[in-house]
Structure 1
Amino acid sequence: MPDDITLHRLTADDPHVSLVAIWIFEAWGHLHRGLTQEQAIERVRAECGQGGVPSIFVAMQGETPVGTASLIADDMSIRREFTPWLASVYVVPEWRGQGIASGLVKRVEAEAIESGIRHFYLYTPDQQSLYRRLGWQDVEHLEYRGETVTVMSRQLGL
């Protein structure tokens, strides 16, 4: 990750909440039929916890947000027994390939450890190799809301 990138906890009153929500909505809104952009913004605001679950982190280059990742209780309605989740890992296209996503994932993992969480999940349609490099393991492959995804898990502190 570039030295000039810092990771910050997103708060509900942060001026970047709407931008982060729009990134998430544009990337994954199709998985939540009927969800409006305004509802997506409110959902992100509600997930801006002060620590543990939920938490959202933002990668900043100076005053400019360039990526995000979340630790949330529920990210897949058909696997409610799995909790918590690494979710919404997103990096602005022109900033990809510089280790920012990996840095965000590691920050969420540190938050999980600090909160006493030792096992959590994610799902991805296309970033399995990134997560495998970071120690995540495949749990299952399935169709979720019209998309083929891999559910992965991570044991922490081992």
Structure 2
Amino acid sequence: MQSDITLQRLSAEDPNAAVVAGWIFEAWGHLHPGLTLEQAIDRTKAKCGQAGVPSIFVATQGAVPVATASLVADDMSIRHELTPWLASVFVLPKWRGQGIASALVRRVEAEATASGFDRFYLYTPDQQALYRQLGWQDVERLEYRGENVTVMSRQMEL
């Protein structure tokens, strides 16, 4: 990852919260029919916790946001028993391939373990290889809201 990229916790008051919400809405809003951008912004701001679950992290170059990842209690309505979740890992296209997503995933992992969780989850339709490289393991493949996805988990040492 470039040395001029910093990772920080996102707060609800941060103007970048609306930017991050827009990215998430554009990338995954189709999974939530009827959700408006305004509702997505409100949901994102509600997930800007001060520590633990929920938390949202943003990678910035200077003051400009370039990527995000979240730690949330529930990211899959058909798997409520699984918690917490790595969610909404997103890197702007021109910043991809530079290790930013991996750094954000590691930051979320650190947040989860600091909060006492030794196992957590994610689902992805197409980024299984990245997560496997980072130590995640496949749990199951299923159809979720019209997409074929892989649920993955990561076992951490506390």
Identify whether the pair has TM-score above 0.5, normalized to the shorter chain.
Answer: yes
1:8-157 mapped onto 2 (5 Å cutoff): 8-157=8-157
- How many angstroms apart in 1 are the aligned matches of 2:34 and 2:54? 23
- How many angstroms apart in 2 are the aligned matches of 1:60 and 1:47? 19
Listed as ranges, the gaps of 5+ residues in structure 2 are: none
2:76 partner letter: M
- How many angstroms apart in 1 are the aligned matches of 2:47 and 2:118? 20
The alignment partner of 1:113 has SS state of: helix
The alignment partner of 1:30 has SS state of: helix
- How many angstroms apart in 1 are the aligned matches of 2:140 and 2:21? 28
- How many angstroms apart in 2 are the aligned matches of 1:144 and 1:101? 23
| % identical equivalent positions | 75
- Give the 4+ runs in structure 1 shifted more than 2 A: none
- How many angstroms apart in 1 are the aligned matches of 2:79 and 2:69? 20
* Superposed CA RMSD: 0.7
- How many angstroms apart in 2 are the aligned matches of 1:23 and 1:7? 17
Offset at residue 157 of structure 1 (A): 1.3
Offset at residue 132 of structure 1 (A): 0.1
- How many angstroms apart in 1 are the aligned matches of 2:101 and 2:20? 14
Structure-2-length-normalised TM-score:
0.99
- How many angstroms apart in 2 are the aligned matches of 1:116 and 1:110? 10
**Paired residues, number:** 158
1:3 partner letter: S
Listed as ranges, the gaps of 5+ residues in structure 1 are: none
1:79 partner letter: R
